[in-house]
Amino acid sequence: MKRTESQSPVGEGEEKPDVETAQARALRIASVVQAKQAEEIVVLNVGGLTALADFFVICSAASEPQIQAIVSAVQAADPGLRPIMEGAKGSPWVLMDYSDVILHIFKPEARAFYDLDRLWGDAPHVAVQVSPSPVRSKPRRSGVPTGGLARGGPR
């Protein structure tokens, strides 16, 4: 863990959550953001390169509502932890700092501009299991015909 106990994102008066390895937390966060349809999810092991964190999770979100949905889902997955947050509503980049893991959520233009993937290119990539996107099918119609008789038309 990179931060001292006094800097921990655990809320005051709350018990510490079960110990979880930084890599397990990073992969769980990656799974949560994937469930919210984040794109280009990358997990980097930056522990050997910086004292900021052990892992970065970087992802892209297409819109402000999607960014907020990702933030809410990640917070709900760890209700006992209070990450340090950077990036206000409407920001193209939101950062959630869990001390050992930092989640970066970008709009695609901001991700291309800041290019953390290249900046931290020396960091080993951690394999993220990608589950296929759900296939959305058109809703089925009921077997009721839509002709005049079914609508109560003349008999």
Rounded CA-CA distance 2/47 in Å is: 9
Provide the CATH topology of domain 22-126.
Beta Polymerase; domain 2 (3.30.460)
Take residue 2 and report the two structure tokens written for it. Answer: 């990179």
State the pLDDT confidence band at 37, using cuts at 50, 70 and 90. Answer: very high
- Count how many residues are written for the chain: 155
Give pLDDT tens digits for 105-151.
999 999 999 999 999 999 999 998 866 555 444 444 445 444 444 44
Closest Cα partner for 73 from 29, 134, 22, 106? 29
Mean pLDDT of 86-99: 92
Token couple for 23: 């890599």
| All structural domains of the chain with their residue ranges | 22-126
What is the per-residue pLDDT across 38-88, written as a single tens digit (0 to 9) for each? Answer: 999 999 999 999 999 999 999 999 999 999 999 999 999 988 888 999 997
Q: Lay out the sheet containing 55-60: strands in order across.
A: 84-86, 93-97, 101-106, 55-60, 39-45, 125-126
Distances (CA, A) of 68 to 27, 72, 91, 144: 20, 6, 10, 41
Residue 90's pLDDT is 86
What tokens does 125 get? 């990539």
Four-point Cα dihedral 49, 50, 54, 60, nearest 10: -90
The pLDDT score that the predictor gives to residue 2 is 52
DSSP code of residue 103: E
Q: Is the pLDDT of residue 18 over 70?
A: no
Query: What does pTM read for this prediction?
Result: 0.73
User: Taking the CA of residue 146 as centre, how many other CA atoms within 13 Å lie in the half-sphere pointing to its CB?
Assistant: 2
